[in-house]
Amino acid sequence: MIDQAPSRDHRDGRSASPQSLDGHLDAKPLAVMAYTVLEPALADLEGTLGRLAELGYLGMETYGIVEHYGPTRVRQALDAAGLALTSAHTPFPAGTEAERLLDQAEELGATSLVWSLEPEEFANAASVDHGVERVNEAAERAAARGMRVVYHNHTAEFTQRYDGQRAYEYLQGVLDPRVVLELDAYWARFGGADLAQVLDSTGDRIHYIHLKDGPLRDYGNDTLVPLGSPDGSIDWGHVLGHGAGLEWHIVELEKLAGDVFEALAQSRDFLVGSGLSRAAGPSSQGGTVKGSAPRFEAAAQQSQALPPDPSSQVGARSASACPCTQKAEA
């Protein structure tokens, strides 16, 4: 069974305001998903990471840059910029590629390895069970190396149902308990999810959230907008007042009409100015970012790490919904 995507008349609110903040959760540190800045990073790694640090971002989830530069240079560049290693998109370390992926993650200092099942693996419960075998093998192998696997959703987890149960809930029941979650809020909302309810219903299992916004019209082809834009569709003050287990807010704007660094600055100003996230350094509006914390202190408190994503499309910025559904060879 497939639910209908939410229409703009029934969307999850517009931009948030401090007054719409639900709950009393502390502001979480703000990071960037590297896919957002992949093109400039492939041209100038150190310069790109330096610009993110100047904008006050505290961390990065890697994608694509380790394969291009190697783990040593990427780690050095992140450390030099004062950016924490939050997590990394890398195929599940299972099958014949498992040890290579884990070795690369270990060299980089990675502890949280993020990936997804393929959309077609949600055709029915049996196909989910088959796909989860790969995830659970990866969780076992990662745990033996002091790492953890993080599952990242798209829309199929929320549009598909098995005997009345949403696939996302079914998935959690068959995943190894050591697997934690990264909620891609936009794709979950596109699939019809109530984001606050998802964050509440999973207890403390969701550790990361991808923040992105747009018109919720065309899966994989929507042009996204900065967080807080009046053209957005999600009430972030409502959503981010939930999620007891959240460690990081990770901005991912993979398809934009304007300049990516301007969009990241606007997103930071909105999230930090609304008291939802925390960042470091001066804002583009002058003065100290509200709710900010020293970058190196945050890195020490929140330090985790990341490996890469050895897929055949690492160097390309496609218009697809997300870069993380290519399978690693098994």
**Domain spanning 21-302: CATH 3.40.50.10490:** no
Question: Which position has the token pair 């890398």?
Answer: 90
Contact 303, 97 (CB under 8 A): no
The pLDDT, as a whole number, for residue 192 is: 97
The region that residue 233 occupies, defined by phi over 0 for left and psi between -120 and 50 for alpha, beta otherwise, is: alpha
Helix locations, 60-181, DSSP H: 65-69, 71-81, 98-108, 125-144, 156-159, 167-174
Q: Which residues contact 90 (CB under 8 A, 6 or more apart)?
A: 101, 104, 105, 110, 113, 114, 115, 306, 307, 308, 309, 310
Q: What whole-number distance in Å separates Cα of residue 95 and Cα of residue 135?
A: 10
Domain boundaries, the chain: 21-302
| Helix H or strand E segment including 41 | helix 38-43
Structure letter (DSSP) for residue 9: G
pTM for the full predicted model = 0.83
CA 323 to chain centroid, in Å, comes to: 11
Q: What whole-number distance in Å separates Cα of residue 62 and Cα of residue 113?
A: 10
Tokens standing for residue 51: 């610009």
- CA dihedral (240, 245, 247, 253) positive or negative: negative
The pLDDT, as a whole number, for residue 296 is: 30
Contact 311, 91 (CB under 8 A): yes
Shortest CA distance to 59 belongs to which of 266, 250, 271, 324? 250
The pLDDT, as a whole number, for residue 291 is: 35
CA 290 to chain centroid, in Å, comes to: 23
- Give the pLDDT means over successive 10-residue stretches in the chain (330 positions): 36 34 78 98 98 98 94 95 94 97 92 98 98 98 98 98 97 98 98 98 97 94 97 97 97 96 98 97 42 33 32 34 48
DSSP 173-219: HHS-TT-EEEEEHHHHHHTT--HHHHHHHTTT-EEEEEE-B--S-ST
The pLDDT, as a whole number, for residue 292 is: 35
Q: Which residues contact 155 (CB under 8 A, 6 or more apart)?
A: 5, 119, 187, 188, 190, 191, 219, 321
Give CA separation, 196 vs 139, 188, 210, in Å: 27, 11, 14
- CA dihedral (91, 94, 95, 98) positive or negative: positive
CA 4 to chain centroid, in Å, comes to: 24
Burial 167-195 (b: 16+ CB within 10 A, else e): bbebbbeebbeebbbbbbbbbbbbbbbbb
Q: What whole-number distance in Å separates Cα of residue 146 and Cα of residue 10?
A: 43
